[in-house]
Amino acid sequence: MQTVVFTEAFFFLCLIMSYIYLAYSTGFEPHDLSKLDIGTSGIYTALLIISSFTLHLAERGYDRGNTRALKAWLIITLILGAIFLIGQGREYAHLIQEKITLESSVFGASFFTLTGFHGLHVFIGLIILSIMLVLAFLGDFNRPAPAGSESPGGPPPGGGALGAIAIYWHFVDIVWVVVFTVVYVLPQFTNI
């Protein structure tokens, strides 16, 4: 999973660089940026960051063999992630009402692509988390540790499905922090 995150990080790096590159190009209209509501998005951002901590608590619950804590924190993580996606949907709807679309301008194109790909990753994360949750209710995590392993060498330390999805989820959150900083926060301080 670390290698997946490694390659995904480069993917987002390229999208973010495209955004910044285009932000300095002539076709970029600064007044588009003013349509973004940093306050509301900030709240959703905070919720997404909190979901990283709740997932960590779920992992802690699993480590202690406390399956109930695992399930509860997984549900809370899922809800927080879903709220974030709903928030993103509301923001998109608002922007489209303001006639900012993929076709309208360079800002629209790069904004929707960047945040859209991130949203897709959140969505994929939610699907994987739901699978974890179903597995948890089916009792797959009841044992304190999975007994026996498929490979003769044993799974890599820190591996296991839950650990891997946690790495992915934290990564998606961190990407959002960077995206939020670049798209929402930095324009408050600069004149682009």
31 is a contact residue toward another protein (CB under 8 A): no
Report the C-alpha gap between 108 and 113 in whole angstroms. 8
Residues 111-170 that bind another protein (CB under 8 A): 112-113, 117, 151, 153, 156
Q: Residue from 61, 81, 108, 125 that binds another protein (CB under 8 A)?
A: 108
Q: Where on the phi/psi map is residue 154: left (φ > 0), alpha (ψ -120 to 50), or beta?
A: left
Report the C-alpha gap between 139 and 181 in whole angstroms. 40
Direct distance between the N- and C-terminal alpha carbons of the chain, in angstroms, rounded to an integer: 37
Radius of gyration of the chain from Cα atoms? 19
Q: Residue from 105, 128, 161, 185 that binds another protein (CB under 8 A)?
A: 105
- Only one of the segments 58-66, 100-108, 137-145, 173-181 lies at the binding site for another protein (rule: CB under 8 A); that segment is 100-108
30 is a contact residue toward another protein (CB under 8 A): no
Report the C-alpha gap between 127 and 132 in whole angstroms. 9
11 is a contact residue toward another protein (CB under 8 A): yes
Q: Which residues of this chain interact with another protein, rule CB under 8 A?
A: 3-4, 6-8, 10-11, 13-15, 18, 21-22, 25-28, 102-103, 105-106, 108-110, 112-113, 117, 151, 153, 156
